[in-house]
Amino acid sequence: EAGVTQFPSHSVIEKGQTVTLRCDPISGHDNLYWYRRVMGKEIKFLLHFVKESKQDESGMPNNRFLAERTGGTYSTLKVQPAELEDSGVYFCASSQDNTQTEEQYFGPGTRLTVT
């Protein structure tokens, strides 16, 4: 089966601009997660969708970040306006359901550089 895909793979934008990242989860996976890794630090949780609903958005850093998952399929993460500290690798992951056995499958990530 196709894995989690993310677009773009790289994005370089200037401070103050807007960027939208896209994630396509594995088909049939209700759970979709966004994570971010800032250089040299841990992978940090941003938010979790169950279908189209936000289950947990406790990791969203501030209101410059907006995540959507209309229709419960793909998700977008918009950063507006971007700041220097937003640079990092943004990962998306998906899992089928919230059972004891479900692995979170990660996408390849989008490397965002804000200059």
CB nearer to other proteins: give 79 or 92: 92
CA distances to 2, 20, 52 from 38, in Å: 27, 18, 27
**Sole window of 21-29, 37-45, 60-68, 73-81 interacting with other proteins (rule: CB under 8 A):** 37-45
Q: For residue 6, what are the β-bridge partners?
A: 23
Contacts of 33 (CB under 8 A, 6+ apart): 45, 46, 47, 48, 49, 92, 93, 94, 95, 104
Taking CB under 8 A as the criterion, the residue among 1, 28, 71, 103 binding other proteins is 103
Taking CB under 8 A as the criterion, the residue among 7, 20, 26, 43 binding other proteins is 43
| DSSP E strands, 51-108 | 53-56, 65-68, 75-79, 88-95, 105-106
Q: Say whether residue 60 binds other proteins (CB under 8 A).
A: no
The nearest distance, CB 89 to other proteins, in angstroms, is 10
Taking CB under 8 A as the criterion, the residue among 21, 33, 69, 77 binding other proteins is 33
Query: Which of 78, 91, 82 lies closest to 42 in space, CA to CA?
Result: 91
CB nearer to other proteins: give 82 or 110: 110
Please give the residue ranges that form the binding site for other proteins (CB under 8 A). 3-4, 31, 33, 35, 40-45, 48, 56, 58-59, 91, 95, 97-109
